[in-house]
Amino acid sequence: MNSVPIYEIEEQDISSRDVLSLPEYRIANRPFFMFGNTITTGAVIVPYIQDPIALAASTTICSGLVVLPSLEMDSIEICTVPAVRVQYNNRTLINEFLNTIGQNLLDQIIDLIQSNSLRQGWPLSYIDIEYLEDIEIEDWHYVLLNLIFDTTFEHAEIILCQCYELLDELSETLNPEAQEILQQRLYLNAGTIL
């Protein structure tokens, strides 16, 4: 069986790539696996795959390997892709506001969005999480997850609605306390870098 030599992939220079160009690394419709904050994609390198594949070696968010056992070893290559970057605006306040249950829930939501982004090929550039106090209403605080897409605003809105559905499915699996946090403290928002 034909295979692509590893060295051809490793020779690609990714050192100058900005993290905002992460969609370049995405391998559509490939199986993925998650280890904590890491998403690992097993990429099958066979002649019919036309897309260039880059090995993105991020020391902070990328680790772990997956072997697809049903395939011959000379036909597969393992590559990892970085999870979508997450940035926090005032993380201390976010953690205090959400408490331990809320923090775990936030991590779950981020994992859910990252994994679906990878699986469905969303043009998600990064996630910006901010803690806000309402400008008019005293003591009304909330955490906003801004999903920043590299696409049109209209397309981002469509994906946001898909995320709403994912959160609703997640909500059904939560205990009442976590559900309450999801309903009263966490909100999704979409933006674009275009």
Q: Which residues bind other proteins (CB under 8 A)?
A: 128, 130, 132, 134-137, 140, 142, 144, 146, 148, 153, 161, 163-165, 167-168, 171-172, 179, 182-184, 187-189, 191-193
Q: Choose between 75 and 116: whose C-beta lies nearer to other proteins.
A: 116
Q: Is 190 helix (H, G, I), strand (E, B) or coil?
A: strand
Q: Choose between 68 and 132: whose C-beta lies nearer to other proteins.
A: 132
Q: Choose between 34 and 188: whose C-beta lies nearer to other proteins.
A: 188
Shortest approach of other proteins to residue 6 CB, angstroms? Answer: 36
Q: Is 74 helix (H, G, I), strand (E, B) or coil?
A: helix
Shortest approach of other proteins to residue 193 CB, angstroms? Answer: 5
Tell me the C-alpha distance between 86 and 121, whole Å.
17
Angle at the Cα of 10 (from 127 to 76), degrees rounded to 5?
90
Tell me the C-alpha distance between 68 and 45, whole Å.
12
Shortest approach of other proteins to residue 80 CB, angstroms? Answer: 26
Q: Choose between 78 and 132: whose C-beta lies nearer to other proteins.
A: 132
b/e burial code for range 51-86 (CB count within 10 A of at least 16 → b): eebbbbebeebbeeebeeeeeeeeebbbbbbbbbbb
Shortest approach of other proteins to residue 173 CB, angstroms? Answer: 12
